[in-house]
Amino acid sequence: MSATVMGCVAVVTGGNRGIGRAFVQELLAGGARKVYCGARDTGDIPAELLDAGAVPLRLDVTAENSVAAAAAAASDVTVVVNNAGLHGKDRLVLAADPTMARQEMEVNYFGPLNMIRAFGPVLAANGGGAIVNVLSVAGAIPTAFMGDYSPAKSAALFLSIIARAELEPQGTSVTALVVGSVDTRMADHVEGIKEDPRDIAITGLKAMARGERVFDTDAMAVQARAKYSLDPVRWEKGMAKVMNNGVMSTRRST
């Protein structure tokens, strides 16, 4: 099962900036028939996306009524890109804001779940289509310095796998993208090498077209998962050290 960009009708959550914006751009550049740019405030959608043909769609993934309204308004969708995310940059147990864990879970886990539940029937009615969940290497392996973002994205990874099993009979593919550090506002506190959002979008859409289940989008994701597999204790100690020294940086092995 897979879906192609050419001729598709896509909806991208959090499409107004960062990786979501890059997905909107690449979908339009790749020949999508229509791309809905989802945002809580459609006034935040850049003019260049609208000028390129993106269709504004008011969408708060944490509000079931907003998601239901979006599914009704975008009943022609064949591709769903669940990109909207929240990183509170707080600790998990020793949190400065104890409510942040719930907020991150609402956006990073319940948001995609709300979207899949609402748009699943839409995809079925339109031939099956595809769902792409933009996740994180922090959801594939425990990453202490990312607080609740790591367990929230981990929950979304399991959601992706289970959703694929449930939706397979209707012909819907679900691809989970394991993403490393990317040059977006969310990672503005991270030093070192960061990927271009458009490269992530290009790679992610190719993975969707191949029908990938879980796919590492960049070198950092590949290397981090390999290191954890080889020596999980060393990895976990290293992440704790990063958390405690307060310096977030990326580097690649040579």
Q: Which residues are catalytic?
A: 149, 153
Measured between alpha carbons, how far is 176 from 156 in angstroms, rounded to an integer?
A: 9
Question: Could you give the maximum distance between any two Cα atoms of the chain, in Å?
Answer: 52
Measured between alpha carbons, how far is 244 from 246 in angstroms, rounded to an integer?
A: 5
- Residue 112 near residue 134 (C-beta atoms within 8 A): no
Name the pairing type of β-strands 173-178 and 191-192. Answer: unpaired
Measured between alpha carbons, how far is 17 from 241 in angstroms, rounded to an integer?
A: 31
The two tokens of residue 157 are: 């990874």
- Residue 106 near residue 62 (C-beta atoms within 8 A): yes
Measured between alpha carbons, how far is 156 from 136 in angstroms, rounded to an integer?
A: 10
**Residue-by-residue DSSP string for 52-117:** HTPEEEE--TT-HHHHHHHHHHTTT--EEEE---------STT-SSTTHHHHHHIIIIIHHHHHHH
Measured between alpha carbons, how far is 198 from 137 in angstroms, rounded to an integer?
A: 18
Measured between alpha carbons, how far is 40 from 107 in angstroms, rounded to an integer?
A: 12
